[in-house]
Each structure stands twice: as structure tokens, then as C-alpha cells.
């Protein structure tokens, strides 16, 4: 299927997508801050530059966009234009994610991944439940948590 906008318009649209301070990330940040959690943002001293770093809990939270990280949910669909480019890009993102998670775990960091589909779309969770689950995980000692949208 051909794109419905010109290549120039598509390029401008794609370049406007942020890597930091996205809406899903801001929702998680506001919710946890409202519960009294304090954190650092996008600490480039840590592998993967986690979205939220909680030194007190030795924990990090990544808020992943389902498209950019190739999540297996309804929000991800392989683009039909330039498939080689997108396959390489998304798989490279996945490899970087995997490497970062291994190094963080080796260095004693607990990790939570909150997927975009848990925050928006037809499989989203109630925001209060999502934030409560993050808070519970932070206060516990589980090494890993992954929050995804409900099963459809």
C-alpha cells in the first residue's frame, strides 16, 4: 500500500517524534512522582540511558514505544515501505535493548519495562493500576518487571 502523504511530509512527521519526554513517559513520571518517588531522568552514565533512574532502589524504568522497539502487540506493524531499512532499524533497537539489560543486570540494577500498549490503545491498563504496579515493584526486591497491555 502506498503512503498517503508525500515523502517530504512523512520525513517531517517522523523527525518530529521524540525520544525523550514522550506522553507515555510523562504519564509514568507524573504518577510515580505523585506517590513520592524521586528519580533522575535519562542518565547517560547507564547503558540504554534509562528513562527513569531510582538510585535509592537501585532500579531503572524504561518506557518503550511499541513501534520503535518492535513489540508484539496491536500497536506494532511492520511498515510496507522500505522494509529492509525498518527491519534493520527496529532489530538494531532490540539488540541495543538486550545488551543494555544484560549490562544493567550485571551491575546490580533492577529493571522495569513499561510498554506503550499498557498506557494507550485498546489493551491499555487503568493508569492507577499501572502506576501502583510500578510503585509496588520499586518497593519490593524483584529484579525485573515488564508491564504490557492486557490480552485482547
CATH number at residue 91: 3.40.960.10
The per-residue pLDDT for 101 is 97
The per-residue pLDDT for 3 is 65
What range does the domain containing 88 cover?
17-147
The per-residue pLDDT for 8 is 75
3-state secondary structure of 30: helix
Mean per-residue pLDDT pooled into runs of 10, the chain (152 residues): 67 62 92 97 95 97 94 90 91 96 98 97 95 98 95 68
Single pTM value for the model:
0.87
Residues whose CB is less than 8 angstroms from the CB of residue 73 and which lie 6 or more positions away in sequence, other chains included: 66, 115, 117, 121, 123, 148, 149
Number of domain units in the chain: 1
Does residue 81 fall inside a structural domain? yes
Amino acid at each position: 500500500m502506498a503512503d498517503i502523504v508525500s515523502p517530504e511530509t512523512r520525513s517531517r512527521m517522523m523527525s518530529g517524534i521524540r525520544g525523550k519526554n514522550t506522553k507515555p513517559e510523562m504519564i509514568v513520571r507524573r504518577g510515580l512522582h505523585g506517590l513520592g518517588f524521586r528519580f533522575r531522568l535519562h542518565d547517560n552514565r547507564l547503558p540504554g540511558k534509562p528513562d527513569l533512574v531510582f538510585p535509592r532502589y537501585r532500579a531503572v524504568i524504561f518506557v518503550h514505544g511499541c513501534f520503535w522497539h518492535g513489540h508484539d502487540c496491536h500497536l506494532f506493524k511492520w511498515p510496507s515501505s522500505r522494509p529492509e531499512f525498518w527491519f534493520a532499524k527496529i532489530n538494531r533497537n532490540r539488540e541495543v535493548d538486550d545488551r543494555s539489560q544484560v549490562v544493567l543486570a550485571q551491575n546490580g540494577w533492577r529493571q522495569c519495562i513499561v510498554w506503550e500498549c499498557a498506557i494507550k490503545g485498546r489493551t491499555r491498563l487503568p493508569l492507577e493500576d499501572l502506576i501502583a504496579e510500578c510503585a509496588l515493584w520499586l518497593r519490593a526486591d524483584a529484579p525485573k518487571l515488564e508491564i504490557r497491555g492486557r490480552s485482547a
